[in-house]
Chain A
Amino acid sequence: MQMYSIDSLQSALSGIGYIADRALATSVYLAFQLQKPLILEGEPGVGKTQLARDLSGILDARLIRLQCFDGIDSYTALYEWNYPKQLLDLKIHEIREGNTEGAALDIFTEEYLLERPLLAAIRCPENAVPPVLLIDEVDRADEEFEAFLLEVLSDFQISIPELGTVKAKLRPLVLLTSNRTRELHGALKRRCLYHWIDYPDSEREIEILRARVPGIDRRLAACVCQFVDSVRADAFYKKPGISETIDWAQSLMALGVKDLEPAMVSATAGCLFKYKKDVDVFSVNKIEQLLERLEPTMGAPGSPGD
């Protein structure tokens, strides 16, 4: 698929099951056209990583994923030499050649190079489609790593002292995701476009459910999405994301549930909440309160269907 327009991108994504709103499609389209990285910020579970996967699907491009963590350094992201292999080969070479001044073994060649995600993205062959480079949870890395990323993302060129300079022939489409546990450095943000992905409203979430959970009852989907919407408006330690909604809908379908009843909702609370303190707050009283907030035509047990 070629990215001809925002609308074609949006429909291609919904074809694969990713229901993006126009704002997100615009940001991705512009990131592609302007050849700039895109920072996607949002609560955990809103579909930032999934977007990268689905984009690589529709563009028929390779997905290269760099998962950031606290303490990640440039070597983990770029490349590393295979030290054990180098030491071993040096030793073997030494034994074979004896103690004479034989030809030295060159231990800095392609054979000993461990290619990590960023180098893989830079070395993508020219005749291929530009890859999608996903730098996931960049807020978990530290500021030094951000400075290093900045350098790489501006030129897409790195120099390996032993091998020489490697320059990217194709600029990948770069997506950086952040759960907003901290603010990213201004210099990095300036280099990138920005998009905040919010939780979807119930209409869009219904569409997502129907795309991801084929065969789901229309009314159940509507009840589930409205209920999750009101849960998100409440004060919980960790609000359920879209994947939690999908899991819950699948569980309810598997149990043959047609209407949301407090007992059933309480029994399946584990799909929505992953922290004990939230499950404790999610008592039967609370569930009844939340169910009451749903529209009168849905959710109430025994009410007429659609």
Chain B
Amino acid sequence: MSPRVDPALTRHLLQFVNCLRSAGIRVDTSRFMDYARAVAIVGIGDRDVFRLSARTTLIDTRRDYELFERIFESYWSGGTDPIALPCFIHREGQGSPAGMETPGTVFETAPGEVSEEEGFNDAGESWSPRDTVRRKDLAHLSSTEIEAAQSEIERIARYLAYECGRRRRASRKMREIHFRRLLRNSALRPMDLTIPYRQEKRNRSKLFVLCDVSGSMDRYSRFFLHLLYALKTSFGQTRVALFSTRTVDITAYFDRDSLRPFLDHLSRRVTEWSGGTRMGNCFLDFLDLYGEKMRPSSAVTVIISDGWDTGDADTLYRAIITLRQRSRKILWLNPLLGEKDYQPLCRGIRTVLPHVDYFIPAHNVESLRKAVIQISSLM
């Protein structure tokens, strides 16, 4: 017969557990019962043991240890209000961001920029308007061309969705004979001559995207967001975060029904599109958010950035090493790779490049198409 806890003490234990719950720590009834049984076994004489038995029965992740300690101290010593969990991850000692640009600019169409190109390339051959839009650098598109570019992007996404579906149906790879089932069938149903096969497990890769939305990426960001929005149906499990000085998780916003509400919602919620980028800190924040969901056998990480980094190089090194450990493949999409004379010289890129599997240009619609095909070949 297991020992019982005094009802008055049980009420206290429940109140304590409710404090944990209101701070964001999930404790279900079965855990609470374990806690109560544990207290009945160890008693309340030794404060240390009392605390440790609460921790081992109620907390199921190391991340919550610190919060648990604070709540335990404040509840069992003074009964003050529990500290609420911060709802946004913030690295200590970052300081305030440099300048706060209004969010609207990213999502408004650019002021009309008349194209200098007449539609003829160096060899004097003429390009169709669609070719022009495909090959022109995204930062230099005029307002009319932007719309055309966006519809090209949507076309890429639709094609990809079709391709992904087709690939699964059409595959007729050699399959293994399922010996276990074969023997069982032959014992149970000797006249059954069908040979059971074992199907190969489908590769269920998960996509994790980090998109730079700092000042230098301003002109490109909307296209990348558009692309990501359009791709969400093809790639299933996708997690997207935007970063500049902080990391913002926008995966939940992808549930909007169409592009316009998605962009509107983003521009209202994400209020930091400021200058410098702190890539190291932002990557570490991203790992805090999603690190545990990234498995080395299935995570494909895509970083979209021009590589300009104003943060600490050691932090960036640490962050990219951890990302490398957690990902099967890392792709870096860089709009600057479109420039003829571009050399990856800046410190951010140089730190990260040795750990990246694919370094791909992403400056025009054509390069985006190729990048998307590359990503899908890995999924």
A residues with a Cβ closer than 8 A to B are 6, 22-23, 26-27, 29-30, 33-34, 36, 38-39, 41, 70, 75, 81, 83, 86-87, 107-108, 180-183, 186, 189-190, 192-196, 235, 237
Chain B residues, Cβ within 8 Å of A180: 62, 292
Closest to B187 in A: A107
> Cβ of B296 and Cβ of A181 under 8 Å apart?
yes
> Cβ of A22 and Cβ of B38 under 8 Å apart?
no
Complex interface: stretch among B46-54, B72-80, B131-139, B218-226: B46-54
Is B297 on the interface with A (CB-CB < 8 A)?
A: yes
| Given A22-B48, A22-B52, A23-B55, A190:B292 Cβ within 8 A | no
One digit per residue, 1 when the CB lies within 8 angstroms of any chain A CB and 0 when it does not, for chain B 67-95 equals 00000000000000000000000000000
Would you mind naming 6 contact pairs between A and B with Cβ atoms under 8 Å apart? A30-B41, A33-B38, A34-B37, A70-B297, A182-B295, A193-B34
Closest to B190 in A: A104
Roughly how many angstroms separate A108 CA and B180 CA in the complex, as a whole number? 12
> Cβ of B52 and Cβ of A87 under 8 Å apart?
no
Roughly how many angstroms separate A278 CA and B294 CA in the complex, as a whole number? 23
| B52, B55, B57: residue with the most chain A Cβ atoms closer than 10 Å | B52
Complex interface: stretch among B116-124, B151-159, B314-322: B314-322
B residues with a Cβ closer than 8 A to A are 28, 30-31, 34, 37-38, 41-42, 48-49, 52-53, 55-57, 59-62, 65, 179-180, 183, 187, 292-297, 314, 317-318, 321, 326
19 more A-B residue pairs beyond the given contacts A34-B38, A108-B187, A195-B56, with a C-beta to C-beta distance below 8 A? A26-B49, A29-B42, A30-B38, A30-B42, A30-B53, A30-B57, A34-B34, A34-B41, A41-B62, A81-B180, A83-B179, A86-B183, A87-B183, A107-B183, A183-B292, A190-B31, A193-B56, A194-B59, A194-B61
| Given A26-B49, A30-B42, A194:B60 Cβ within 8 A | yes
> Cβ of B49 and Cβ of A22 under 8 Å apart?
yes
| Given A33-B41, A182-B292, A190:B30 Cβ within 8 A | yes
> Cβ of B314 and Cβ of A235 under 8 Å apart?
yes
> Cβ of A83 and Cβ of B42 under 8 Å apart?
no
Partner of B321 from the list A6, A108, A237 (CB cut-off 8 Å) is A237
> Cβ of B53 and Cβ of A26 under 8 Å apart?
yes
Chain A residues, Cβ within 8 Å of B61: 183, 189, 194
Chain B residues, Cβ within 8 Å of A181: 295-296, 326
Chain B residues, Cβ within 8 Å of A196: 62, 65
How close is B321's CB to chain A, nearest CB, in angstroms? 6
Roughly how many angstroms separate A259 CA and B248 CA in the complex, as a whole number? 49
Closest to A281 in B: B317
> Cβ of B38 and Cβ of A83 under 8 Å apart?
no
How close is B142's CB to chain A, nearest CB, in angstroms? 47
What is the predominant secondary structure among interface residues of chain B facing chain A?
Answer: helix
Chain B residues, Cβ within 8 Å of A235: 314, 317-318
Roughly how many angstroms separate A186 CA and B293 CA in the complex, as a whole number? 13
Chain B residues, Cβ within 8 Å of A87: 183
Chain A residues, Cβ within 8 Å of B48: 22
Roughly how many angstroms separate A195 CA and B53 CA in the complex, as a whole number? 10
> Cβ of A194 and Cβ of B295 under 8 Å apart?
no
Partner of A27 from the list B37, B56, B296, B297 (CB cut-off 8 Å) is B56
Chain A residues, Cβ within 8 Å of B179: 83
> Cβ of A30 and Cβ of B56 under 8 Å apart?
yes
How close is B37's CB to chain A, nearest CB, in angstroms? 6
Chain A residues, Cβ within 8 Å of B294: 182
Chain A residues, Cβ within 8 Å of B59: 194
Chain B residues, Cβ within 8 Å of A6: 42, 49
Closest to B186 in A: A90
Chain A residues, Cβ within 8 Å of B49: 6, 22, 26
Roughly how many angstroms separate A273 CA and B38 CA in the complex, as a whole number? 41
> Cβ of A194 and Cβ of B318 under 8 Å apart?
no
Chain A residues, Cβ within 8 Å of B60: 39, 186, 189-190, 192, 194
> Cβ of A81 and Cβ of B317 under 8 Å apart?
no
- Per CB-CB distance, the 9 closest pairs between chain A and chain B, nearest first, are A183-B292, A196-B62, A26-B52, A189-B60, A27-B56, A194-B60, A193-B56, A235-B318, A23-B52
Roughly how many angstroms separate A180 CA and B41 CA in the complex, as a whole number? 30
Roughly how many angstroms separate A108 CA and B184 CA in the complex, as a whole number? 10
Closest to B290 in A: A183
Roughly how many angstroms separate A235 CA and B280 CA in the complex, as a whole number? 13
Roughly how many angstroms separate A149 CA and B52 CA in the complex, as a whole number? 26
Roughly how many angstroms separate A273 CA and B321 CA in the complex, as a whole number? 16
Roughly how many angstroms separate A119 CA and B321 CA in the complex, as a whole number? 40
Roughly how many angstroms separate A280 CA and B30 CA in the complex, as a whole number? 50
How close is A68's CB to chain B, nearest CB, in angstroms? 13
How close is A162's CB to chain B, nearest CB, in angstroms? 9
Chain A residues, Cβ within 8 Å of B326: 181
Roughly how many angstroms separate A38 CA and B62 CA in the complex, as a whole number? 14
Roughly how many angstroms separate A87 CA and B187 CA in the complex, as a whole number? 11
> Cβ of A182 and Cβ of B55 under 8 Å apart?
no
How close is A51's CB to chain B, nearest CB, in angstroms? 14
Roughly how many angstroms separate A47 CA and B38 CA in the complex, as a whole number? 25
Chain A residues, Cβ within 8 Å of B42: 6, 26, 29-30
Roughly how many angstroms separate A23 CA and B65 CA in the complex, as a whole number? 12
Roughly how many angstroms separate A29 CA and B43 CA in the complex, as a whole number? 13
Roughly how many angstroms separate A190 CA and B61 CA in the complex, as a whole number? 11
Chain A residues, Cβ within 8 Å of B318: 235
> Cβ of A36 and Cβ of B295 under 8 Å apart?
no
Roughly how many angstroms separate A186 CA and B26 CA in the complex, as a whole number? 10
Roughly how many angstroms separate A190 CA and B65 CA in the complex, as a whole number? 16
Closest to A194 in B: B60
Roughly how many angstroms separate A238 CA and B179 CA in the complex, as a whole number? 42
